[in-house]
Amino acid sequence: MAAGRGTRVGGDVPKQFLELAGAPVLLHAIRPFVSHPDICQVVVVLSPTDAADPPPWLAAHVGELLAVVAGGDERSASVAAGLAALGPACTIVLVHDGARPFPPRTVIDEGIAIARNGHGAVPAIPVGDTIKRADEYGQVLTTVARDGLWRAQTPQAFPRDVLARAHAAAQAEGLCATDDAGLVERMGERIQLIPGSPRNVKITTPDDVLMAQWLAAQR
């Protein structure tokens, strides 16, 4: 999923196209999937403008294994576009953020294994900070107990038919979602948490860019 513009990072270049250790963020995010022996197709969802004219470094990889499609105005519409582009051989689907350049191989492996058993899988890490709920003016309303709270990451893995039904139901109800697992949960389907990683950072702010640059230098 790389159709967003990432305005919080700033600058004219979308965050997924920023250079990181000599390669764009999106290319870092794609590599663990195209090199995985169990993955038969990778669909990169870009904005309609970028999909019509992909960057040369991405266009060079388009072929039987990798395709580029145009996304929608909302993330859920973009995921639906990616699902529609998959071939019939894909029975398990992993949805990943193009702005997460370092998806761990263990997360991909565990997600596939759980999805093959008919369930959804979400990598996550436990919330370690104290959580405050505040109003729109920044006034604290309450402290939220962090027991049982987890920070969800991607790639999230699902049986393809389960994810397709979840998105079809959401579309019929006019719902937009930023989390695919949330749509699957609404149908009463089981979602299993698997260990995520603090290194599986999502680039959202300039500080995230600095963290990703540091992590890339350690690889």
Task: For residue 84, give Cα distances in angstroms to 62, 69, 79, 90, 183.
Answer: 17, 10, 9, 11, 17
pLDDT tens digits, residue range 100-140? 999 999 999 999 999 999 999 999 999 999 999 999 999 99
Q: Which H or E run contains 122?
A: strand 120-126
**pLDDT, position 155:** 98
What are the sequence ranges of the domains in the chain? 15-218
pLDDT tens digits, residue range 33-76? 999 999 999 999 999 999 999 999 999 999 989 999 999 888 88
The answer to whether the beta carbons of residues 208 and 202 sit under 8 Å apart is: yes
What angle, 0 to 180 degrees and rounded to 10, lies between the N-to-C axes of helices 160-173 and 75-84? 140
Tokens of 89: 């051989």
Residue 180 has pLDDT above 90, yes or no: yes
Out of 3.90.550.10, 3.40.50.300, 3.30.460.20, 2.60.120.1310, select the CATH number for domain 15-218.
3.90.550.10
Arithmetic mean of pLDDT over the chain: 93
Helix, strand, coil: what percent of the chain each, to 5?
A: 35, 20, 45
- pLDDT band of 174, cuts 50, 70, 90: confident
Residue 10 has pLDDT above 60, yes or no: no
**pLDDT, position 9:** 61
State how far the Cα of 99 lies from the Cα of 55, in Å rounded to an integer: 16
pLDDT tens digits, residue range 79-101? 999 999 999 999 999 999 999 99
Hey, what's the torsion of the CAs at 138, 197, 36, 202, to 10 degrees? 20
What's the rounded mean pLDDT across residues 149-163? 97
